[in-house]
């Protein structure tokens, strides 16, 4: 599958999922369900290019292909095309490498802080004390803070808040979303999704702290004060985050009614629509049109032609008649032959003289347009109209002479060749009938 198709599937899925969240789920207080929705959206976007449900079209007789290859080589003009997909690939990889370095840099920054910090015991918990005052945060199982910059009450709220992040492994959500943003760096939705996921994780922690009995006003004042402590770490779960006003609004918001849970049912038709749009392919024949383009490059290729025959068992033996027509009249070369026993038609390779155009009448016209052949029936020359009246059942053989052999018999009149027709003796004609 081309890279651009993969990127389209991933980013369209991501955009539709975020749109669903923004329109239906953003103002609900079911924060844990929203967290599950975000993670599910990332997983669905990642696996969407891998989902392939193939539906078979109604079976039809497969045609057998007879391929004819001429012995001559024809110069064919081929248009020079520029591969724009390579530009897309290089742009994508360049952005991915740049964003990947950003992810690694943030992880290394946290690792450096971990090495510079020292382990302390506080309230029976193992914490990491920052070497200098800064914004408290947590990353996976570690809580980073500077106890000296907080009052006792505020310190308890900070630890309670960060413990929620640690217990529920919120760092995994942020890291997965950051990696997704690195792959979809050109898509603004990927940036908005990471921001919304961080915000929702803070809603979860805020709600848990209040559920444990913290005074809402004291907690909200602590948020306002700590927001002045300095910049936060990008990939960490920070006690402070930029949209402090939104957090306070959500803390004071009335809990959503259980009836609002029905909004999450919209995820099902969205997922089915995406799977049907991107994952289902129908096995069917496609008609491809080729547009004429100016010639800018020449290559030598072998002339090829194709003929199709229905690949079904032949019926009972029948008489077969073969004829060729031209625009200047009709030359009929006929014979009687029993058809083969019932068997499927198979592919065969046929060599044909160059150059032949596959169009009714055009093949023989190309051969006869310049010089007509001499027609001889049982030793006597006849016209083309007379040749058409011959009963094919009376024919014994048809011989076509070209070149020196024809010129040796009839001189310059035979530049177009000689057709020698021999009929069966009278007794053989009766036996055939």
Each residue of 408-426: pLDDT tens digit?
Answer: 888 878 777 888 888 887 7
pLDDT classification of 114: cutoffs 50, 70, 90: very high
- List of residues 6+ apart from 229 with CB closer than 8 A: 133, 134, 135, 136, 149, 240
Residue 308's SS3 state is strand
Q: Per the structure block, which two tokens stand in for 77? A: 């003009």
For residues 276 and 328, membership in a common domain is answered with no
Q: What percent of the chain has pLDDT over 70?
A: 67
For residues 238 and 325, membership in a common domain is answered with no
38 is a domain residue: yes
For residues 192 and 269, membership in a common domain is answered with yes
For residues 315 and 270, membership in a common domain is answered with no
Q: Which of the pair, 295 or 395, is modelled with greater confidence? A: 395
Whether a cis peptide bond, with omega within 30° of 0, leads into 432 is: no
What is the tens place of the pLDDT at every residue in 135-168? 899 999 999 998 888 888 899 999 999 999 999 9
Number of folded domains that form the chain: 2
Burial class (CB in 10 A: 0-12, 13-18, 19+), 397: exposed
Which among 191, 187, 136 is positioned nearest to 165, based on CA atoms? 136
List 300's β-bridge partners, or say none: 75
For residues 219 and 348, membership in a common domain is answered with no
297 is a domain residue: no
Instruction: Give residue 12's pLDDT.
Output: 94
What is the tens place of the pLDDT at every residue in 208-218? 999 999 999 98
Domain boundary among 283, 301, 334: 283
Q: Per the structure block, which two tokens stand in for 410? A: 């009839």
For residues 320 and 278, membership in a common domain is answered with no
User: Cα–Cα distance between 118 and 48 in angstroms, integer?
Assistant: 44
260 is a domain residue: yes
Whose structure tokens read 């803390």?
A: 251
For residues 220 and 315, membership in a common domain is answered with no
User: Cα–Cα distance between 99 and 95 in angstroms, integer?
Assistant: 6
72 is a domain residue: no
Q: Which of the pair, 26 or 313, is modelled with greater confidence? A: 26
Mean pLDDT score, 55-82: 53
Q: Which of the pair, 49 or 322, is modelled with greater confidence? A: 49
153 is a domain residue: yes
175 is a domain residue: yes
Is 233's pLDDT higher than 60? yes
Most distant CA pair in the chain, distance = 127
User: Cα–Cα distance between 178 and 306 in angstroms, integer?
Assistant: 54
For residues 142 and 246, membership in a common domain is answered with yes
For residues 7 and 107, membership in a common domain is answered with yes
Instruction: Give residue 302's pLDDT.
Output: 46
pLDDT classification of 173: cutoffs 50, 70, 90: very high
For residues 53 and 183, membership in a common domain is answered with yes
Q: How big is the chain, counted in residues?
A: 433
Instruction: Give residue 230's pLDDT.
Output: 65
112 is a domain residue: yes
Q: Per the structure block, which two tokens stand in for 311? A: 């690949």
Instruction: Give residue 418's pLDDT.
Output: 84
Whose structure tokens read 């809603």?
A: 203
For residues 364 and 405, membership in a common domain is answered with yes
Find how far residue 209's CA is from the centre of its chain.
Answer: 47
Whose structure tokens read 């907690």?
A: 219
63 is a domain residue: no
- List of residues 6+ apart from 105 with CB closer than 8 A: none
For residues 263 and 315, membership in a common domain is answered with no
Under DSSP, the state recorded for 34 is H
| E strand map for 79-147 | 118-122, 125-129, 137-139, 142-145
Find how far residue 230's CA is from the centre of its chain.
Answer: 46
For residue 389, the enclosing domain spans 309-432
Instruction: Give residue 66's pLDDT.
Output: 44
Q: Which of the pair, 235 or 429, is modelled with greater confidence? A: 235
Q: Per the structure block, which two tokens stand in for 305? A: 């032609």
CB 76 within 8 A of CB 297: no
């Amino acid at each position: 599958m081309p890279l651009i198709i993969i990127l389209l599937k991933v980013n369209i899925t991501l955009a539709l999922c975020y749109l669903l969240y923004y329109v239906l789920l953003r103002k609900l207080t079911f924060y844990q369900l929203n967290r599950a929705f975000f993670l599910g959206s990332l997983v669905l976007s990642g696996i969407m290019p891998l989902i392939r449900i193939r539906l078979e079209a109604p079976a039809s007789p497969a045609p057998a292909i007879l391929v004819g290859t001429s012995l001559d080589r024809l110069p064919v003009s081929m248009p020079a095309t520029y591969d724009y997909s390579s530009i897309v690939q290089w742009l994508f990889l360049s952005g991915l490498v740049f964003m990947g370095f950003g992810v690694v840099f943030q992880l290394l920054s946290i690792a450096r802080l971990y090495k510079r910090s020292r382990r302390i015991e506080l309230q029976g918990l193992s914490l990491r004390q920052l070497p200098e005052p800064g914004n408290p945060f947590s990353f996976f199982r570690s809580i980073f803070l500077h106890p000296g910059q907080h009052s006792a009450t505020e310190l308890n709220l900070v630890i309670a808040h960060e413990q929620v992040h640690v217990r529920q492994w919120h760092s995994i959500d942020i890291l997965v979303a950051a990696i997704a943003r690195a792959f979809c760096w050109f898509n603004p939705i990927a940036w908005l999704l990471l921001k919304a996921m961080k915000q929702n994780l803070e809603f979860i922690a805020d709600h848990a702290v209040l559920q444990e009995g913290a005074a809402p006003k004291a907690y909200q004042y602590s948020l306002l004060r700590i927001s002045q402590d300095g910049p936060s770490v990008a990939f960490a779960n920070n006690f402070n985050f930029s949209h402090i006003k939104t957090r306070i609004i959500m803390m004071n918001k009335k809990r959503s009614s259980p009836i609002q849970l029905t909004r999450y049912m919209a995820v099902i038709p969205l997922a089915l629509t995406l799977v049907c749009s991107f994952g289902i392919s129908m096995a069917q024949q496609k008609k491809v049109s080729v547009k004429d383009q100016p010639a800018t490059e020449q290559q030598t290729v072998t002339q090829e032609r194709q003929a199709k025959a229905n690949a079904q068992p032949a019926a009972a033996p029948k008489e077969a008649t073969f004829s060729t027509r031209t625009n200047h009249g009709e030359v009929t070369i006929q014979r009687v032959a029993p058809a083969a026993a019932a068997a499927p038609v198979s592919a065969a390779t046929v060599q044909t003289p160059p150059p032949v155009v596959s169009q009714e009448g055009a093949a023989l016209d190309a051969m006869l347009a310049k010089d007509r052949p001499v027609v001889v029936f049982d030793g006597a020359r006849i016209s083309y109209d007379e040749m058409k009246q011959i009963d094919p059942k009376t024919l014994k053989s048809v011989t076509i002479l070209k070149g020196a052999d024809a010129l040796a018999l009839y001189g310059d009149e035979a530049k177009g060749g000689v057709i020698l027709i021999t009929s069966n003796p009278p007794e053989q004609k009766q036996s055939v009938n």
